[in-house]
Amino acid sequence: METPCIVINEATVRRNIQRMVAGLRAHGIAHRPHFKTHKSVRLAKMQLEMGAAGITCASLGEGETLADGGVTDIFLAYPIIGARKLARLVELSRRTALCTVVNSIEGAEGLNAAFAAAGTRIKVLIELDGGMGRSGITLDNINAFAQAITALPGLELIGVMTYRGNIYQNRGESEYVAETRKEAADLLKAQRQLQEIGIQVDVISSGSSFSSKFPQHLQGLTEARAGTYIYNDVSQLSTGMIQVEDCALTVLATVVTCPDKNHAVIDAGSKTLSSDLAKHGPGYGYILEHPNATIEKLSEEHGYLRLPDGTQLNVGDTLHIIPNHVCAVVNLADTYWAFDGQAHTEHPVDARGKSR
Amino acid sequence: METPCIVINEATVRRNIQRMVAGLRAHGIAHRPHFKTHKSVRLAKMQLEMGAAGITCASLGEGETLADGGVTDIFLAYPIIGARKLARLVELSRRTALCTVVNSIEGAEGLNAAFAAAGTRIKVLIELDGGMGRSGITLDNINAFAQAITALPGLELIGVMTYRGNIYQNRGESEYVAETRKEAADLLKAQRQLQEIGIQVDVISSGSSFSSKFPQHLQGLTEARAGTYIYNDVSQLSTGMIQVEDCALTVLATVVTCPDKNHAVIDAGSKTLSSDLAKHGPGYGYILEHPNATIEKLSEEHGYLRLPDGTQLNVGDTLHIIPNHVCAVVNLADTYWAFDGQAHTEHPVDARGKSR
């Protein structure tokens, strides 16, 4: 394998999926994993075979890639805006069991116009504000918003979803649990409020790989959309809730120069590792072979390592690096190598770069 | 054009190239632009037609893409390490006028073994330390290093090069000029030192888009490898040495939600704009339509805008954003749209993701 490249351990991937599905199932919650992390149809199908109830994706292009690959139970968790994209969405809905999200009146009206004109309907979930100021309807406004949605003939309101990404800003298990409980409580409150005004929603969909680690606190929700958990990364690791052996993806890199005894330069820079920082902790990745070395800086094709005294690296050495943020790293690579314990096989990152 | 996407203004691109070529030429310096910024064979050919003397690239894959597209005068400014890559390098050298870099004895010996075994030679430039601690031979060591290189039959030593990327950490024209003069002085000193021990090097190659803005201070060098200048970006803009109208590339994005009157969310996140920060200044890009708005945070498919009082945005509005770091943004996109004053035409980013 020439470097820099992505290598995944299939056994770890399978163990991560198995644990996630089983953990959620024990609390009556379906797993609808997010495609944005791996962007691989092969892995989406593995998730489905291992018990996932459908796939979540972040863009039309990801949804089309899934459909082209034969995956047809899709939740597109992004508001689709604009005539050309809406036409693609209508097309996609004709060949899949598709559901999407609404979080603004303008967006909902656009969807409605496109689907009503096509003589069909689209299932939608209302996005509930996840406390990130990013998007979503607040509990104060959700009743009026839901009433407006149900008045639109092209939309079929079936649920409520949220993404509470701020959980990653917290520290320590008690804070994580508190945030997870808040996520579940808000979603269930939204469901109750809507029920009180005569609107029944059956899908209650929660967010992150992180809250999914506490399924006992998600009781009452119907599905969880964890994505990153399939590979894990330094951001997950830095919370202390997973271990190095739970990380299924590494970047393989080669030492290209050793400027002095405390420094080495590798061929993985920001065009491979991305410039994403970990939520907690310094540097641009965790080096399996040298956990005490730091990737202290990146340029596009160079990673700058600071080595502790006594760590010797040589030009040509290869290193396995757990990246800070796997989703960003996968989206930079055309392919990944899967190691099944015996051999490495190269697979395409099918939806790489499909951000629209 | 569906968003998010990259749009370039051809007139600005041509003006940037014309100025760079003319500025350098007035001081007897050839322009060998860096391919890593645009990764487009079409634009490499435009640069050659407008007076560039050859192309610089950062990876074997970029070099192969250039050769496949018919561009054959190539400087590969990255040390090639490892048997499989060396075999590709030998192949590439058979169909191009190729030159590469050496910055370690181990790297030079690998090159030598591969080319000597193939019964041929490869032209090389010694990389001189650019003060970044990244790689390169110091002035103290360059004589001994050059003597070792000239003893290797598979290598033909033709020059010295450096990259002084720290120039971007400076502030103000006098600091930029001082750094540029240091760059030129070090390269010329290396040349003189080598001459004194009987080693004649004819190619003296300097680095950045930034030092190339001061060609009067690069006198005596033979070529400059500026890359970013073709598009420019917020990092260049934040130095005060270029203007908004010199920026040829924007990301076109759509407003997807407006959580409150001071916030909007766009469909360009870190998978489009990258997480790269500008050298000076906050945020993740400069919005042409609303220069006082700030892109204060990114998630993968969301950009979070803070709007000044009185700025009104609506779902569906489109915005043009000058990114912090164009090289990273281009490397995330499969295609770009070129606007020639009349129409937009889509072109491939030929070497996207070719980091190896």
- Is the CB of residue A187 less than 8 Å from the CB of residue A128? yes
Q: Is the pLDDT of residue A61 over 90?
A: yes
Instruction: Say what the pLDDT of residue A96 is.
Output: 98
Q: Does B315 contact A107 at a Cβ distance shorter than 8 Å?
A: yes
Longest dimension (CA), chain A: 71
Q: Give the closest of B85, B276, B333 to A275, CB-based.
A: B276
Q: Render pLDDT for B208-267 as a digit per residue (tens, 0 to 9).
A: 888 888 999 999 999 999 999 999 999 999 888 899 999 999 999 999 999 888 999 999
| B26 CA: distance to closest CA in chain A (Å) | 31
Beta-carbon-side half-sphere exposure of residue B334 (alpha carbons within 13 Å): 11
B133: region left, alpha or beta (phi > 0 left; psi from -120 to 50 alpha): left
d(CA B181, CA B211): 9
Q: Does B353 contact A355 at a Cβ distance shorter than 8 Å?
A: no
Give the count of beta carbons closer than 10 Å to the beta carbon of residue A147.
14
d(CA B11, CA B33): 18
Give the count of beta carbons closer than 10 Å to the beta carbon of residue A88.
19
Instruction: Say what the pLDDT of residue B333 is.
Output: 98
Rg (CA), chain B: 21
Q: Give the closest of A84, A302, A355 to B301, CB-based.
A: A355
| B106 CA: distance to closest CA in chain A (Å) | 7
Instruction: Say what the pLDDT of residue B55 is.
Output: 98
Q: Does B106 contact A316 at a Cβ distance shorter than 8 Å?
A: yes
From chain B, the residues in CB contact with A255 under 8 A are 81
Instruction: Say what the pLDDT of residue B76 is.
Output: 98
User: What residue in A sits closest to B5 (Cα-Cα)?
Assistant: A356
Q: Is the pLDDT of residue A321 over 90?
A: yes
| Backbone phi, psi, residue B68, to 5° | -60, -35
Q: Is the pLDDT of residue B278 over 70?
A: yes
Q: What would the mean pLDDT of A30-47 be, rounded to a whole number?
A: 98
Q: What would the mean pLDDT of B269-296 be, rounded to a whole number?
A: 93
3-state helix, strand, coil split of chain A in percent (to 5) is 35, 25, 40
d(CA B354, CA B36): 10
- Is the CB of residue B10 less than 8 Å from the CB of residue B42? no
Instruction: Say what the pLDDT of residue B168 is.
Output: 67
Sign of CA dihedral A350, B6, B56, A284: negative
Q: Does A257 contact B79 at a Cβ distance shorter than 8 Å?
A: yes
User: What residue in A sits closest to B315 (Cα-Cα)?
Assistant: A106
d(CA A94, CA A112): 16
User: What residue in B sits closest to A165 (Cα-Cα)?
Assistant: B299
Length of chain A: 356
| A256 CA: distance to closest CA in chain B (Å) | 7
| Average pLDDT over all residues of chain B | 95
Q: Tell which residue, B42, B114, B103, has the closest CA to residue B345.
A: B42
Instruction: Say what the pLDDT of residue B240 is.
Output: 86
**Sheet containing strand B73-76, strands side by side:** B30-31, B223-224, B203-206, B155-162, B122-128, B97-102, B73-76, B55-57
From chain B, the residues in CB contact with A133 under 8 A are 259, 263, 304
Q: Give the closest of B36, B78, B85 to A2, CB-based.
A: B85
In sequence order, what DSSP letters do the residues of B54-108 get, joined into one string?
A: -EEESSHHHHHHHHHTT--EEEE-S---SHHHHHHHHHHHHSSEEEEEE-SHHHH
Q: How much of chain A, in percent, has pLDDT values that exceed 70?
A: 98
Q: Render pLDDT for B2-44 as a digit per residue (tens, 0 to 9).
A: 999 999 999 999 999 999 999 999 999 999 999 999 999 999 9
Q: Does A315 contact B107 at a Cβ distance shorter than 8 Å?
A: yes
Q: Does B259 contact A314 at a Cβ distance shorter than 8 Å?
A: no
Do the strands B223-224 and B249-260 form a parallel or antiparallel pair, or are they unpaired?
unpaired
| pTM score | 0.96
Instruction: Say what the pLDDT of residue B330 is.
Output: 98
Q: How many A×B Cβ pairs under 8 Å?
A: 169
3-state helix, strand, coil split of chain B in percent (to 5) is 35, 25, 40
Q: Give the closest of B3, B103, B256 to A257, CB-based.
A: B103
Q: Does B2 contact A78 at a Cβ distance shorter than 8 Å?
A: no
Q: Is the pLDDT of residue B88 over 80?
A: yes
Q: Give the closest of A134, A135, A316 to B82, CB-based.
A: A316
Q: Does A356 contact B3 at a Cβ distance shorter than 8 Å?
A: yes
User: What residue in B sits closest to A298 (Cα-Cα)?
Assistant: B134
Report the SS3 class of residue B199.
coil
Q: Does A332 contact B328 at a Cβ distance shorter than 8 Å?
A: no
From chain A, the residues in CB contact with B101 under 8 A are none
- Between the alpha carbon of residue B55 and those of residues A48, A50, B226, the distances in Å are 47, 50, 10
- Of the pLDDT bands very low, low, confident and very high (cuts 50, 70, 90), residue A240 is confident
d(CA A255, CA A264): 7
Could you give the ipTM of this predicted complex?
0.96
Q: What would the mean pLDDT of A2-31 be, rounded to a whole number?
A: 97
Q: Does A332 contact B332 at a Cβ distance shorter than 8 Å?
A: yes
- Which residues are registered as beta bridge partners of B261? none
Instruction: Say what the pLDDT of residue A111 is.
Output: 98
Q: Tell which residue, A323, A336, A330, has the closest CA to residue A353.
A: A330
User: What residue in A sits closest to B1 (Cα-Cα)?
Assistant: A84
- Of the pLDDT bands very low, low, confident and very high (cuts 50, 70, 90), residue A78 is very high
Length of chain B: 356
d(CA A181, CA A184): 5
Q: Does A135 contact B275 at a Cβ distance shorter than 8 Å?
A: no
Q: Is the pLDDT of residue B314 over 90?
A: yes
The pair of structure tokens assigned to A73 is 């139970």
Q: Does A356 contact B258 at a Cβ distance shorter than 8 Å?
A: no
Residue with tokens 């005060």: B240
Q: Does A316 contact B263 at a Cβ distance shorter than 8 Å?
A: no
- Of the pLDDT bands very low, low, confident and very high (cuts 50, 70, 90), residue A133 is low
In sequence order, what DSSP letters do the residues of B200-268 get, joined into one string?
A: ---EEEE--TTGGG-GGGSTT-SEE---GGGT--HHHHTTTSS-GGG--EEEEEEEEEEEETTEEEES-
Instruction: Say what the pLDDT of residue A112 is.
Output: 98
Q: Is the pLDDT of residue B134 over 70?
A: no
d(CA B8, CA A352): 22
Instruction: Say what the pLDDT of residue B133 is.
Output: 66
Q: Render pLDDT for A183-209 as a digit per residue (tens, 0 to 9).
A: 999 999 999 999 999 999 999 999 788
In sequence order, what DSSP letters do the residues of A2-34 get, joined into one string?
A: -SSEEEEEHHHHHHHHHHHHHHHHTTT-EE--B
| A108 CA: distance to closest CA in chain B (Å) | 11
- Which residues are registered as beta bridge partners of A54? none
